[in-house]
Chains A and B, each alone.
Chain A
Amino acid sequence: MNWLQCSQPFPNAREVTNETILHSDMNPVIKLEDVHKIYHTGEVDVHAVRGVTLDIHPGEFVAVMGASGSGKSTLMNVLGCLDRPTQGRYSLDGTDVSQLQRDQLADIRNAKIGFVFQGFNLLARTSALENVELPMLYVHKRIAGHQQRERAMKSLEIVGLAQRFDHHPNQLSGGQQQRVAIARALVNNPALLLADEPTGNLDSQTSIEIMGVFQKLNEQGITIVMVTHELDIANYTKRNIIMRDGRVVTDEAVKKRSIAENELRKLREAQQAVNLA
């Protein structure tokens, strides 16, 4: 697991000195004020999000949970600036994004948000390096080609995939593909990493490994918001938000936090025990 030993200082880290910061003193990365989202589909209006007020501060690692239809995906789309709230205010990293136009939202996504999806969403027949370079293609102040390459390689190093930079997605395992996706999400130095069921397509060991990557990134100061429906995966985060019927019903710190490194060690020991027996 060389990525865990990766001692290279994280180049994209924002200044976060320790974890015991008083949140009220800092500007939140995400500030939702009574956010509603209503879909007008034919005759019926679907009220997917019904008034969510929420602050997420720099350095937090949050899991958003809930059954399907709870509104968590809609909330995720709003948080990801893929969709605008019907009502309420949403400030991202100090910018009010609730009234922005399509192209302005695209710029916000490019500059401030890194996406990690359940289905990896890498470009097929395109090398890992080029996949990671993709967000830099849409940065307004053009980045020189060699600089793009350097930054993409650095991102790949962070997720421990630098040696496979020239592999295409179909030559990589699911876990490796997800790491390429994480590298892509990091490359523009975003204020927020948004992960939508990042372990949904992975087996349990690979899931833990990916959670390890997230934990490591979070230790280095990256704010992460993740949607999941798996409780044991949510336990790797620091704060769990549970949604039901478009509202936040539970919002609490994780008490017994799982540490990926430990869980993986346990898994290996169990496997060795099986092998010995």
Chain B
Amino acid sequence: MMRIIATVKIALRALRRNKMRSLLTMLGIIIGVASVIAAVSLTTGATKQVENQVQSLGESVLTVFSGNFTSGAIRGGWGSAPTLTVEDARAIAQLPNAVAVSPEVRDREQVLANGLNWNTLVQGEGPDYPQIRNWHIASGVMFTEQDVHSLAKSAVIGKTVVDELFPNENPLGQIIRVRDVPFTVVGVLAPKGFNLFGQDQDDVVLIPYTSHMRRITHRTFVNSILVQAENDKLINQVQQEITELLLARHRSPEPDFTVRNQLELMQAVTATSKAMGNLLAGVAAVSLFVGGIGIMNIMLVSVTERTREIGIRMAVGARAWDIVVQFLMEAVTLSAIGGLIGISCGIGFAMLVAALKDTPAVTPTAWIVIAFLSSAVIGVVFGFYPAWKASQLDPIDALRYE
């Protein structure tokens, strides 16, 4: 151990003698490592952001959309056909792996309150909606199963609606009017921000789906049904079960509905980031290789320059391996320091870009370790030939070398 420290000291001294040359030699490694770390940080940041958004849709959540409603030549798109019912939702809730179910009815309405008005999405939901969407109530409470039964005029509103209708007031207990029906605000949702498609998720008013269907829209069908599976491994199974159940219930040979899950979206995102990661690994390999060649080159020069020193060391008893270790340590020190500088520069650059462009930058620890280790390994690989060459010098010739 002490011997290693001694060798590192010798290596550092040798490198300090040629500061400029050492720095220039390291530059290849520095640039390679820095660019990889910066790119990884920025893409990881972006991927994390997307992943968070996907997750904010709810974990292990499936959405059942009713089919396309065709009237004459007009096709209404997913969710328009009157095929999904509240009874379907209750049947799905009976499935063993479905933890929570919420029928959904959606409609854009002009909402009035407090002398102000605001056009927003009025959504009929079940009481489990916040749990399924992984969405907290910031203040107040969610309406209950009882409220659903009694067609209660209770509403839970999003942050944007609070800002627009109750700019300087506590919205809890206040009345909002939807198509002249007064709803009492019982809760406020925690802010959730924009979703993947850029929609403001906080611009929403939640009311019991029964109230929505009977008091406002007078519908008998729901737009969709949100289903939470026991866990994300069961998603595909649950999807299968729902499809079979609904096909049987609707007595239709063709599905008049579609079932989507978050996992598919997630997989698309991770596939993209994986491809990006492979690309970066390729860039890293090439730049480290180039840096390694630089190190090998300068180490060969160094061995020639210090032939006499090698001769002296051999004369006083250095074995071939001692000489190999000395020069190898020098190459490794060079590349490892280059790696460390590169990592710091990369993180710094990523943080700068993140600050300027207002995007997140996340540097995974694994990549820092990988970058450091691979730069050290580069030193060993490309330093070995010059070190071996040095160790094979003839001490007599080396001592006479001018």
In the bound complex, residues from chain A placing their C-beta under 8 Å from that of B13 are 125-126
Counting chain B CB atoms within 10 Å of each CB, the highest count among A80, A102, A122 belongs to: A102
Q: Which of B147-155, B310-318, B349-357 contacts A (4 or more CB under 8 A)?
A: B310-318
Q: Do most interface residues of chain B lie in helix, strand or loop, or is the interface mixed?
A: helix
Contacts A138-B316, A138-B318 given: A82-B2 contact, CB under 8 Å?
no
Chain B proximity mask over A101-131: 1 for CB below 8 Å, otherwise 0:
0110011011100010100011101100000
Mark out the residues of chain B between 286 and 343 whose CB falls within 8 Å of any chain A CB in the assembled complex: 308-309, 311-322
Query: Beyond the given A103-B321, A122-B312, could you list 15 further A-B residue pairs with CB under 8 A, ordered by the A residue number?
Result: A80-B315, A82-B399, A102-B319, A106-B317, A106-B319, A106-B320, A107-B317, A107-B319, A110-B316, A111-B317, A115-B315, A121-B399, A125-B13, A134-B313, A138-B318
In the bound complex, residues from chain B placing their C-beta under 8 Å from that of A106 are 314, 317-320
Cβ of B330 to closest chain A Cβ, rounded Å: 15
Q: In the bound complex, what is the Cα–Cα distance between A134 and B6 (angstroms)?
A: 11
Whether A138 pairs with B3 at a CB distance below 8 angstroms is no
Whether A142 pairs with B3 at a CB distance below 8 angstroms is yes
Which of B6, B17, B309, B317 lies in contact with A109, CB distance below 8 A? Answer: B317
In the bound complex, residues from chain A placing their C-beta under 8 Å from that of B321 are 103
Q: In the bound complex, what is the Cα–Cα distance between A123 and B306 (angstroms)?
A: 10
Interface assignment of A77: CB less than 8 Å from any CB of chain B: yes
Whether A82 pairs with B315 at a CB distance below 8 angstroms is yes
Interface assignment of B396: CB less than 8 Å from any CB of chain A: yes
Whether A117 pairs with B399 at a CB distance below 8 angstroms is yes
Number of residues from B at the complex interface, CB < 8 A? 22
Number of residues from A at the complex interface, CB < 8 A? 27
Whether A110 pairs with B317 at a CB distance below 8 angstroms is yes
Cβ of A109 to closest chain B Cβ, rounded Å: 5
Interface assignment of B130: CB less than 8 Å from any CB of chain A: no
Interface assignment of A57: CB less than 8 Å from any CB of chain B: no
Chain A proximity mask over B1-42: 1 for CB below 8 Å, otherwise 0:
011001000000100010000000000000000000000000
Interface assignment of B277: CB less than 8 Å from any CB of chain A: no
Cβ of B7 to closest chain A Cβ, rounded Å: 9
Interface assignment of B255: CB less than 8 Å from any CB of chain A: no
Whether B322 pairs with A121 at a CB distance below 8 angstroms is no
Whether A123 pairs with B312 at a CB distance below 8 angstroms is yes
Interface assignment of B82: CB less than 8 Å from any CB of chain A: no
B321: nearest chain-A partner, CB-CB: A103
Cβ of A181 to closest chain B Cβ, rounded Å: 10
In the bound complex, residues from chain B placing their C-beta under 8 Å from that of A231 are none
Which of B17, B308, B317, B399 lies in contact with A135, CB distance below 8 A? Answer: B317
Whether B3 pairs with A135 at a CB distance below 8 angstroms is no
Whether B320 pairs with A102 at a CB distance below 8 angstroms is yes
Chain B proximity mask over A174-218: 1 for CB below 8 Å, otherwise 0:
000000000010001000000000000000000000000000000
Contacts A106-B318, A137-B6 given: A82-B313 contact, CB under 8 Å?
no
Interface assignment of A145: CB less than 8 Å from any CB of chain B: yes
Q: In the bound complex, what is the Cα–Cα distance between A117 and B400 (angstroms)?
A: 10
In the bound complex, residues from chain B placing their C-beta under 8 Å from that of A145 are 2
Interface assignment of A219: CB less than 8 Å from any CB of chain B: no
Whether B396 pairs with A77 at a CB distance below 8 angstroms is yes
Whether B316 pairs with A135 at a CB distance below 8 angstroms is yes
B317: nearest chain-A partner, CB-CB: A110
In the bound complex, residues from chain A placing their C-beta under 8 Å from that of B318 are 106, 110, 137-138
Query: Can you report 29 A-B residue pairs in the complex whose CB atoms are below 8 A from each other?
Result: A80-B315, A82-B315, A82-B396, A83-B396, A102-B319, A102-B320, A103-B321, A106-B314, A106-B317, A107-B319, A110-B317, A110-B318, A111-B317, A121-B308, A121-B311, A121-B312, A121-B315, A122-B312, A123-B309, A125-B17, A134-B316, A135-B316, A135-B317, A137-B318, A138-B316, A138-B318, A138-B322, A145-B2, A188-B317
Which of A109, A137, A139 lies in contact with B315, CB distance below 8 A? Answer: A109
Interface assignment of B193: CB less than 8 Å from any CB of chain A: no
In the bound complex, residues from chain B placing their C-beta under 8 Å from that of A121 are 308, 311-312, 315, 399
In the bound complex, residues from chain B placing their C-beta under 8 Å from that of A117 are 399
Cβ of A149 to closest chain B Cβ, rounded Å: 13
Interface assignment of B182: CB less than 8 Å from any CB of chain A: no
Whether B316 pairs with A184 at a CB distance below 8 angstroms is yes
In the bound complex, residues from chain B placing their C-beta under 8 Å from that of A126 are 13
Cβ of A137 to closest chain B Cβ, rounded Å: 7
Interface assignment of B395: CB less than 8 Å from any CB of chain A: yes
Whether A103 pairs with B320 at a CB distance below 8 angstroms is yes
Q: In the bound complex, what is the Cα–Cα distance between A49 and B316 (angstroms)?
A: 24
